[in-house]
């Protein structure tokens, strides 16, 4: 029997309180060799909500699981209709001060690499190079049949051609809030007539965004690359992640077990707090601006 993936986590007593003192973070960054692990909280100042914060999308939206996506045509129709509108909103998002601060630290040689749990591509748009997309990217699409990869822009063109009247629904729901996984809530009537297209190469394959859905495993070679980055780091800096899911939490555990300091900046407790040397509870844009200034960049 399949169980639903972990979507929420409730903190228990005894965890250390958050601080507003950034001294430990500034000292670690100044020393260099810092690996960054970023989550949805880093993109909230770009207009993309996180999953579990005060206004997180899980309060109103349950992400589609991998099992649901591959298990039925109706589920895929619902996903692609909602994603068709949500992806356009994602493309309008721009990097914020937090993304730019991480890039500045990387370009100064103080950050050795970034592991991002985000699928929005904003960290790369801010100019960062050594970014491992732990959960993939909404900008790519893969065929589950033949393995062909294409850009989301190409699929967008094909879906527009297949659904010329969907623009009316898109206009009506243009104000709908985009979710971190790149879709928006749409009523059944807006989804019912949406046509999903098959792979342009094999003609029958199911197309899926090149992202790791809830209930799906991160590719092992990607996990190995993250582990190597954490192994070689002088410190691990977690930015804007509650660390609820094991895909990110395992790197915090890895760092702590090897004696590498774990520093967390997140508004709200995280599942990794017990392994953290220090947690700061400040907005990321404000905090990272101060870290860049403290590192004398």
The residues that are catalytic are 135
Let me know if 177 is exposed, middle or buried by CB neighbors in 10 A (0-12, 13-18, 19+). middle
CA gap 250, 270 in Å, rounded: 13
Helical H runs in the chain? 23-31, 66-71, 73-92, 97-107, 122-125, 152-162, 166-172, 188-191, 220-231, 246-257, 284-294
How many helices (H) and strands (E) the chain has is answered by: 11, 9
Q: Is 211 helix (H, G, I), strand (E, B) or coil?
A: strand
Q: Are 23 and 284 spatial neighbours (Cβ–Cβ below 8 Å)?
A: no
- 88 alpha carbon, distance to own chain's centre: 17
Q: How far apart are CA 139 and CA 176, in angstroms?
A: 21
Give the strand pairing for 262-265 and 278-280: parallel
Q: Which residues contact 51 (CB under 8 A, 6 or more apart)?
A: 7, 40, 57, 58, 63, 180, 242, 244
Owner of token pair 């356009």? 88
Q: Are 168 and 281 in contact (CB under 8 A)?
A: no
What b/e sequence results for 113-136 when a residue is b if at least 16 CB atoms lie within 10 Å of its CB, and e otherwise? bbbbbbbbbbbbebebeebbbbbb
Residue in 165, 39, 20, 189 with CA at minimum distance from that of residue 102 = 39
């Amino acid at each position: 029997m399949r169980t639903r993936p972990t979507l929420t986590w409730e903190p228990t007593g005894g965890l250390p309180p958050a601080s507003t003192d950034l001294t430990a973070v500034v000292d670690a960054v100044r020393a260099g060799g810092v690996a960054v692990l970023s989550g949805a909280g880093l993109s909230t100042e770009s207009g993309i909500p996180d999953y579990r914060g005060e206004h997180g999308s899980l309060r109103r939206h349950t992400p589609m699981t991998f099992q649901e996506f591959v298990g039925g045509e109706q589920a895929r129709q619902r996903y692609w209709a909602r994603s068709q509108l949500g992806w356009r909103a994602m493309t309008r998002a721009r990097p914020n001060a937090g993304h730019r601060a991480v890039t500045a630290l990387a370009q100064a040689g103080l950050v050795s690499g970034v592991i991002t749990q985000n699928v929005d591509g904003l960290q790369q748009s801010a100019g960062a190079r050594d970014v491992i997309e732990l959960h993939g990217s909404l900008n790519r699409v893969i065929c589950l049949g033949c393995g062909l990869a294409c850009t989301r822009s190409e699929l967008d063109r094909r879906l527009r051609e297949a659904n010329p009247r969907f623009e009316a629904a898109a206009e009506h729901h243009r104000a709908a809030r985009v979710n971190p996984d790149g879709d928006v809530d749409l009523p059944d009537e807006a989804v019912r007539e949406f046509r999903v297209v098959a792979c342009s190469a094999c003609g029958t394959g199911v197309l899926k965004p090149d992202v790791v859905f809830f209930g799906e495993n991160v590719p092992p070679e990607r996990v190995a690359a993250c582990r190597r980055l954490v192994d070689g780091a002088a410190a691990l800096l977690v930015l804007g992640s509650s660390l609820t899911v094991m895909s990110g939490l395992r790197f915090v555990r890895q760092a702590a077990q090897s004696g590498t300091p774990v520093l967390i900046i997140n508004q709200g407790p995280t599942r990794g707090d017990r392994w953290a040397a220090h947690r700061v509870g400040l907005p990321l844009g404000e905090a990272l601006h101060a870290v860049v200034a403290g590192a004398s960049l």
